[in-house]
Structures are given as structure tokens and as C-alpha cells.
Structure 1
């Protein structure tokens, strides 16, 4: 009798039968199974026994391998992405989550799976490429600082991590919803971070990762002569802003105040500025000549060959929900963040100040 399908067997039986001009009833009778059993085999709902598979191949004058072949292991995950999208995968509780590997950065990262097809609203089927054990030791890290990509690439064999781009409040919200293991934030550091974690992610551990030089990213050579925050009052400057909840948006608001803009004027400037979803995207807008100035870190300006005017040294912290502290990927991430190799690499990027390790400790809000 047919056995329950494993989900890994690809069946071409119906196509072969129809090409041979055979009805399901006649083929089922010849190989000694019911019409219903043959239908389950053709639909992938059941796997035939070895004897039935051999009889089907003989009846259709082909090899068994032409009727049945092993496919890739598959998973169904929450994601809205087209077929062919390469993804990184990680288990979060009872469900596996997927992170698309898009853009130029995605070409340099190995994929854990490839989207095969939609599987309902907001869900897709993914062909699994990585060993299933890799999913259990992979941490998802949300945040907007480009150095997170550098950090996620520094983990050893003990664990893995994948960067999920999000603004600071979006990263915290994703952690609170159980979509990521770690949230990165730069909203002022210290008390500001402890307060927002107490509201959004109570009980999470807070770890100082680094400090990053924030400022204005400008066209190469600074043709408009921008010197600092007061220049943001100039109406000839085409600006890039960030979404509410992003650290760059908060910094830009602070610099607007320095420039003497009222609350209404600040809102108007944001409304007529281009919106970027990450520091690197903001830098790209300036590099393409679509804007004159954007808030962001020195590293993003350097990546796009822009002039940078430093204005603020910002703290970047990692918030880890208590239930994820023992996760192998999280442990490997925190260890890598303190490693000499990573800290030397971080300094080489420019605009980053590693934390004083003698003063840094795991702090639980």
C-alpha cells in the first residue's frame, strides 16, 4: 500500500500517464491499486511502495527515476517574496523565519534556502539548502547600523547570525513580536535606551556594542559649503530624512533645533525631504545627486565616497530578550563583538569607537 508522502518526492506520474494516453482507472487496475490510491500518488499525497513504483514504470515503459525523484527538503515560512529569492533562515521558537538576501550585499552571502512558490497570504515554500542544524544556531539581528553586517560575518563555528535591516524602534518592535533574537538601537544611549526597552522589551539585556560618529553626509568635495547643523536652515539644501523611530530621524530633529527651526518648520522640512529606509540608502541618494545632505554615520558616507561632517558620537547598543540569551547564535554574536579581530576591523572602517571592555557589562533593564 502507498505510504504517507515525505514532502521530498517529486512525482511526474500524471504527466507520463497522460502522455501515454492512459486513463487513471486502467493504469490503477494494471498495477493493482485503487483509483483513489493512484490519485494520491499523482498528487504527491502518498509515496508508492517499491513494488508499485516498479509496476508503474513497467506499465508506462520508462525508468522509475523518470516517474519519481528526490527533491530538496522544503519549509513553509512567513515571507512575502517572489520565487527565486535567496534567503537566510533561523528558528525562532516553534517557527522558522526567513531573511531575503537582496542587493549587492546578498551576492556575497551564502543562502540557506531559495523561495519556490507562494504558500498562502504572507507565506512561501522554501527549498532548504543548508543543513537543518544551521537553522537552530542562527541568530537574527535587527538594526540599521552598517557595522552589524560586519559583525554577523565574524562569528565562528559556534553560531551564525544574519542582519535584518530595521530602524531602532522597528528593531525593538520586531524583537517584541518574536521575529528576531537581538535588536540594535541608537536612540541616545544610556537612560534613553533603558527607558525605551522598559516600555517595549521589558527584562531584556542591554549590551554596549560600540559608538559611532554621526553627522551630515554630503556630495564629494562639499560643493555647497555645508559646515554644520546651522546650515540645515538653508532652503536651498535638498535633504534626506529617515522614518519616525529611526535614530537618524531623531538626530536630524536635534540638528534642526540647533539651526533654529520651529516645530512646524521641522515638520515641513521632513515632509519635503526624500525618505530613506537605511543610512546606506540615504548615502546612495546623495551619491546619485538626488539630494545634497543626509544624516548618517561616517561608515555609510565612506562607503559611497561622500564628504562627511561629524556632529555627534552616538552609542549603539544591543538589546537581547532574556529567553534568547542562551541561544548559540546570540552567544557567538556577543563573543565576536568583544573579539580583538572584530574590534580591529571596526576601527579600520572609520568613524567607530569600540567600547571600553573594562567598563562594559551585560545590563538587564
Structure 2
């Protein structure tokens, strides 16, 4: 029966008329059920149909709530907020973050913490820190830039986890910059170009480190964010905003260099390095999951795998950069 048919990610992409990378994003976010056959991902046809039916309801409700200035082309799955998974058992381990580095870390943890469930929440790091403060997750990633101090992460961790002793463990440095159309037809050079009325943007969701980076620079430039064409349009990931620029849906988006290299018809304008790090409560440091994370991140195998990905500076990987 068709309902029992197993589909490849490419076949799912063809059915939904989306890119195969978007299928992987949906699976990662838990919005589309999938399973492995050997090393290959498969999706049942019935789950694709269930996903389509659920999406129709969600999108209809969102359309009624969105501002009329948002283009219909931007009302898509990419505007949905990712779920925040919470542990339901003492054997569960929840880590918040979106970068591919965490895919690698999760794989190592699955091997080291036999019998535990490694749960990934793809929510932004601002919300991740809040969830860590509330005790809903175990570790949060963080890449939050403070415009007043020019410092990454420490100011936000201090403010958002008051009275909670923590450590900040360094994973890698990445380059943040603008995605623009191939050849940069609008001659976009830097942050000052956000003042131009002939440039439209596609934004990241509230709570993401990239959104906060943009908002901090807008604040420092004294720009009214409502004056920026496209500011209210949101997508969930670097890949989604880069794809929007590639399709001509916006002139500019902010994201990391590595993702931009994966998308056709995109040029990348580097703006600043960012620090991508983990926040762990000190009270958890003697627990098996925290010990495993510390051991993995400092291992040569893990560092070698990150180096092989390209696009990351791993010179400080595994270093405790702050105790708060």
C-alpha cells in the first residue's frame, strides 16, 4: 500500500516541492518523522501526509496573525518556532542549539552515555539560556554579542542566570556576515547599508544569536528597525535565510560563512567573528553527562572532525573561558 511506502529524503523533497536540505531541517526539528535503515534516512509516506495536513492548519492560523506587510511567499514552514524538548526521565539529556557541531557532539554522547536519550532542542540560544535557568534543559549553546562591551556570551550569561554558578566551555569561532546575491548587485558592504531603503532583508527568529547580533548593531547605529524593509519577516535557520536571498526573496540576510557556502548564487560578506560556546551549571559538573561533554570536546577525535568540516576556528576548543 502507498501508505506503507518508505521514501528517501529526495523523494520527500519532490513531493513537498522543497529542497532536500529543508527536509533534513524538518527531520532535525522533529517536525517530520524519520528513521534509519543502515546509514540511510527513510520517511514513511503516511508521515509525509500527516505533516502536510498538520502544516495546513498551522499555516492557516499563522496567516491570520501575520502583519499584512509580510509577503505571502514568506508565509512558510520556516516561520514556525522550533519545539523546546524537555527531559521526562532521569536518563534524558537535553542540549539546546542549532549548529552542525551539536550533531557531532550528540553522536559522541550517544556512544558514551549508553541507555540515555540525547535530545536536541533547536530553539535559539537566548531561549536556551532561559530554559537552562528554569532547569528544563541540561546544556545550552550561546553566541550572544553585547554591543556595549563588544563581548560575546559572558554579559548575557551573567544577566540571564543570576545566582546560578556556571562555566562557559568554548566550542569554536565562526564568521558572521551578510548573504547577498551572486555578484553583490546592490553593492552591499557593511552594517551602514541597513540604513538604505533600496535594500530588503530577511530576518532570523527572535531569540536566536544572529537576530540579537543584528538588533545590537541596529541599536548602535540608531536605526528604527521598523524602517528596514523586510525586518519583520522571519526564518528559522541560516540555511533558510540564505535560500531566501538566493531565490531573490530578499537582498540581504545575516548568517555564518559556512552555511552561505552551501547555497547556490550567494556571496558572503564577512563582518565579525563570533564565539560559539556551551553553558553548563557548576552543580552538574560531576554528573555523567557533563563529564562526557568535557571529555568529548577536549578529545582529538572531536577536534579533528570539526577541523574537517571547515569554516571553524578550533584553536580554543575545549577551553573553559569563564567561571561565573
Aligned pair in 2 of structure 1 residues 249, 270: CA closer, same or farther (>3 Å)?
Answer: farther
* Deviations 1:113-169, CA, capped at 9 Å, x for gaps: x9xxxxxxxxxxxxxxxxxxxx75552111233432233233362226333112221
Equivalent position of 2:196 in the other structure: 234
Distance in 2, matches of 1:308 and 1:154, equals 31
1:155 aligns to what SS in structure 2?
helix
Asked if 1:181 corresponds to 2:163, the answer is: no
Q: Secondary structure at the match of 1:225?
A: coil
CA contact (8 A) 1:184 1:316 kept: yes
Alignment pair present for 1:145 and 2:107: no
Match of 2:30 in 1: 101
Q: 1:315 aligned to 234, 258, 275, which one?
A: 275
**1:261-288 deviation per Cα after TM superposition (whole angstroms, max 9, x unaligned):** 5342x34327644212332332232233
- Summarize the alignment of residues 151-162 of structure 1 with structure 2, pairs less than 5 Å apart: 151-155=105-109, 157-159=111-113, 161-162=118-119
Say if 1:145 and 1:279, in contact at 8 Å, map to a contact too: no
> 5+ residue gaps in structure 2?
1-27, 48-88
Alignment CA distance shift 1:149-1:219 (3 Å) = farther
Paired residues of 1:146 and 1:300 also in contact (CA < 8 A): no
Query: 1:70 aligns to what?
Result: none
State the Cα deviation string for residues 19-64 of structure 1 (Å, max 9, x = none): xxxxxxxxxxxxxxxxxxxxxxxxxxxxxxxxxxxxxxxxxxxxxx
* 1:157 partner SS: helix
One of 339, 342, 346 as aligned partner of 2:299: 339
Q: Is the 8 A contact 1:143 1:167 kept in 2?
A: yes
Q: What residue is the counterpart of 1:18 in the other structure?
A: none
Partner of 1:281: 240
Question: SS of 2:198's equivalent?
Answer: coil
Q: 2: distance between equivalents of 1:318 and 1:146?
A: 14
Alignment partner of 2:291: what SS? Answer: helix
1:349 CA drift (Å): 2.8
Q: Give distance in 1, aligned partners of 2:203 and 2:182.
A: 19
CA distance in 1, matches of 2:159, 2:228: 29
Residue of 184, 205, 221 corresponding to 1:222: 184
In structure 1, the residue matched to 2:257 is 298
Select the structure of larger CA radius of gyration. Answer: 1
- Cα distance in 1 between the residues matched to 2:217 and 2:322: 30
- Asked if the contact 1:165–1:278 (Cα under 8 Å) also holds between the matched residues in 2, the reply is no
How far did 1:185 drift? 0.7
State the alpha-carbon separation in 1 of the partners of residues 307 and 286 from structure 2. 28
Partners of 1:209 and 1:318 within 8 A in 2: yes
User: Cα–Cα, structure 1 residues 106 and 294, in superposed 2: closer, same or farther, change >3 Å?
Assistant: farther
The count of aligned residue pairs is 241
- Give the match's secondary structure for 2:145: coil
Compared CA separation, residues 318 and 234, structure 1 to 2 (3 A): same
Alpha-carbon deviation of 1:103?
A: 5.2
- Consecutive unaligned residues of structure 1, counting only runs of 5 or more, are 1-98, 115-134
- Cα 1:338–1:242 shift into 2, 3 Å: same
Give the TM-score normalised by the residue count of structure 1: 0.56
- Over 3 Å counting, the alpha-carbon distance change for 1:235 and 1:344 in structure 2 is farther
Is it true that 1:165 corresponds to 2:113 in the alignment? Answer: no
SS of alignment partner, residue 154 of structure 1: helix
TM-score by length of structure 2 reads 0.63
Asked if the contact 2:195–2:228 (Cα under 8 Å) also holds between the matched residues in 1, the reply is no
- CA gap of 1:162–1:219, structure 2 versus 1, over 3 A, is farther
Structure 2 CA distance for aligned equivalents of residues 219 and 105 of structure 1: 33
Relative contact order, CA 8 A, sep 6+: which one is greater? 2
Structure 1 range deviating more: 304-313 or 333-342? 333-342
